[in-house]
Amino acid sequence: MDQESITIIDNRTDAQYHIPLFKGCVRAADLRQIKVQTEDFGMMTYDPAFMNTASCQSSITYIDGEKGILRYRGYPIEELAQNCTFLEVAYLILNGELPNSAELQEWIDRVKHHTMIHETTKKFLEGFRYDAHPMGMVISTVAALSTVYPECRDVTDRETRRKEITRLIAKMPTICAYAYRHHFGLPYIYPDNDLSFTENFMNMMWKMVEPKYVANKTLARALDILFILHADHEQNCSTNTMRAVGSSLADPYVSVAAAAAALSGPLHGGANEEVLRMLDEIGTKDNIPAFIKHVKDGKGKLMGFGHRVYKNYDPRARIIKWTADQVFKVTGRNAKLEIAIELERIALEDEYFVKRKLYPNVDFYSGIIYQAMGFRPDLFTVLFSIPRVVGWLAQWEEMLEDHEQKIARPRQIYTGHDERHFVPMDKRGTGQPAQAVAQA
Ligand code: ACO
């Protein structure tokens, strides 16, 4: 018998099934042969929230959550953060290899060529209320780009795809900066192609009346490192959304908008904004024990802690802590950092967090750095989306080129009524189950 297989005995029928293993996994469709009656549908797996289901094969990002390892295309995140620029890492994620200097220069030029947005898109942004959440503005504006580049719908053409990928990566900082300036009624600043990717973003964010905005080099490098750390993270909630929406062959703009919507939730990319809110709520170090008790009593979460995959220190959080030190040398220490460090110390010694293997994740310190740099908390998730668009698009293209992939369509276990018949209005009592009325 093939060693790379398992044998299942169905106790209902005593039938035995030899199921081959694929890369150490059971292919869920192989379980369909397990039936009691021949007309049965066959066995399915039940896995709410994909706790134990691989939905794809991917060669982009590797995570070992137990050991706290993160690699892009095989390279440890620490080495990339130390030695590369964000665009260099973006090239690696999209193409599989680090660029040589000519390839990098050509890629940088290509991105710069696409940083401007159409004036009608600018007008679209102007239509939002002054207090619109920037993430809502970004999600809608990215989706609207689909109407500006109708050729993007040809997702099966590699050349078209590559052009849209470049456009999206190039335009994200512009859209994000415009969303910020809209709130304050500040004029939008056009991209400046003399600047690096990060410096250009800072210029579009903060240039006022000075003839030439000069970004602080340490802060620009810190932002570049933060972008590297956020560029991809295998099959997280937003990437899974990107793949699922893209699997219907929807265009990349609306797919990225959907992924960004998934990112905006407080359990995902929205967590960094929530961390700041939580630190404000705690207020002083003295209040930390009471806050920890509140969390342990199940009355709230310690935001920025815990991860579906990491059951060890998130390697990105370690690099972010180092980056924070560099940033605070420029900006001065932030009172929130002291609270966060103490909160982390107490939590890492507390049995509740130790037992559940809850460690700081990427969002625990990133918000504090962003705020020290001058970003408002409601922009934090927007800042996350700028680099993550690289990962979404690389994963989207990998999905489109994977012959095993089809439109994403999970099964369900139906728990509703058996067939029943229509009741005319005058025969319906008040005893109608609320659920049935809601479904009608
Ligand atoms: N604070 C307190 N308790 C927590 C936390 C937390 N941050 N995270 C998990 N737990 C507890 C759960 O209540 C659960 O306890 P129980 O076993 O007594 O019921 C246990 O730890 C396991 O947690 P799950 O919710 O089952 O873990 P899951 O993998 O589903 O959730 C998640 C992961 C969503 C990240 C969760 O840890 C969380 O909500 N963290 C706070 C939000 C956050 O920081 N999100 C950012 C994640 S990183 C990113 O998306 C970029």
276 lies in some domain: no
Is residue 417 in contact with ligand 1, taking CB distance under 6 Å?
A: no
Nearest CA to ligand 1 atom 14: 356
C-alpha distance across the termini of the chain, in Å: 53
CA separation for the pair 139, 256 (Å, rounded): 8
In this prediction, residue 431 carries a pLDDT of 65
Same domain as 187, residue 114: yes
Residue 55 covered by a domain? no
Tokens of 15: 């039938």
Distance (Å, rounded) from C-alpha 243 to C-alpha 239? 6
Mutational test site, ligand 1, from 241, 267, 296, 302, max ligand atoms within 8 Å of CB? 267
- ∠ CA 218-382-213, rounded to 5°: 40
Same domain, 82 and 177: yes
On whether residue 311 sits in a domain, the answer given is no
Q: Is 267 near ligand 1, meaning CB less than 6 Å away? A: yes
**Is 268 touching ligand 1 by the criterion CB < 6 Å?**
yes
Residue with CA at minimum distance from ligand 1 atom 29:
308
31 and 176 share a domain? Answer: no
Q: 94-98 contacts: CB < 8 A, separation 24 or more?
A: 94/165, 94/390, 94/393, 94/394, 94/397, 96/59, 97/73
Q: Choose which residue among 361, 362, 388 to substitute to test ligand 1 binding: the one with the highest number of ligand atoms within 8 A of its C-beta.
A: 361
Could you tell me if 62 and 71 are in contact, meaning their C-beta atoms sit under 8 angstroms apart? yes
**Which of 355, 356, 383, 388 gets mutated to test ligand 1 (max ligand atoms within 8 A of its CB)?**
356
Q: Under a CB-based contact definition with an 8 Å cutoff, are residues 373 and 28 in contact?
A: no
Structural tokens at position 370: 């962003």
Q: 221 and 260 share a domain?
A: yes
Atom 39 of ligand 1, nearest CA residue: 267
Residue 314 lies in a domain: no
pLDDT for 440: 44
For ligand 1, is residue 361 a contact (CB within 6 Å)?
yes
Do 112 and 18 belong together in one domain? no
Q: Whose CA is nearest to atom 45 of ligand 1?
A: 267
Same domain for 218 and 112, yes or no, is yes
Tens digit of pLDDT at every position of the chain (440 positions): 678 999 999 999 999 999 999 999 999 999 999 999 999 999 999 999 999 999 999 999 999 999 999 999 999 999 999 999 999 999 999 999 999 999 999 999 999 999 999 999 999 999 999 899 999 999 999 999 999 999 999 999 999 999 999 999 999 999 999 999 999 999 999 999 999 999 999 999 999 999 899 999 999 999 999 999 999 999 999 999 999 999 999 999 999 999 999 999 999 998 888 999 999 999 999 999 999 999 999 999 999 999 989 988 889 988 998 899 899 999 998 788 899 999 999 999 999 999 999 999 888 989 899 999 999 999 999 999 999 999 999 999 999 999 999 999 999 999 999 999 999 999 998 865 555 545 54
The CA 133 to ligand 1 mean position distance, Å, reads 25
Residues assigned a catalytic role: 268, 307, 363
Is 316 a pocket residue for ligand 1 (Cβ < 6 Å)? no
Residue nearest to atom 26 of ligand 1 (CA): 308
**From the CB of 220, is ligand 1 less than 6 Å away?**
no
Rounded to an integer, what distance in angstroms lies between the CA atom of residue 125 and that of residue 123? 5
**Other beta carbons less than 10 A from residue 433's beta carbon:** 9
Asked if the structure places residue 277 within a domain, the reply is no
Q: Tell whether 30 and 132 lie within a shared domain.
A: no
Ordered DSSP codes for 245-284: HHTTT--HHHHHHHHHHHHTSTTTTTHHHHHHHHHHHH-S
Do 147 and 241 share a domain, yes or no? yes
Mutate to test the pocket of ligand 1, among 232, 268, 358, 370 (most ligand atoms within 8 A of CB): 358
Ligand 1 nearest-atom number relative to CA 308: 29
Return the residue whose CA atom lies nearest to atom 50 of ligand 1: 268
**How many domains is the chain built from?**
2
In a domain, 334, yes or no: no
- Distance of CA 267 from the midpoint of ligand 1 (Å): 8
* Cβ–ligand 1 contact at 363 (below 6 Å): yes
Quick one: 95 and 213 in the same domain? yes
Q: Do residue 41 and residue 174 come from a single domain? A: no
CATH number reported for the structural domain that contains residue 168 in this entry: 1.10.580.10
On whether both 13 and 90 belong to a single domain, the answer is no
Ligand 1, atom 20, residue with closest C-alpha: 356
Q: Indicate whether 355 belongs to any domain.
A: no
Same domain? For 127 and 256 the reply is yes
State in Å: Cα 306 to ligand 1 middle: 5
Beta-bridge mates of residue 6: 19
300 CA to centre of ligand 1 in angstroms? 11
CA 272 / ligand 1 centre spacing (Å): 14
| 354 pocket-lining for ligand 1 (C-beta < 6 Å) | no
| 66 touches 312 (CB < 8 A) | yes
Of the candidates 75, 86, 77, the one whose C-alpha atom is nearest the C-alpha of residue 388 is 86
- Which atom of ligand 1 is found nearest the CA of 230? 51
Residue 234 located in a structural domain: yes
Containing domain of residue 11, as a range? Answer: 5-50
Ligand 1 neighbour 307 (Cβ under 6 A): yes
Ligand 1 atom closest to 237 (CA): 50
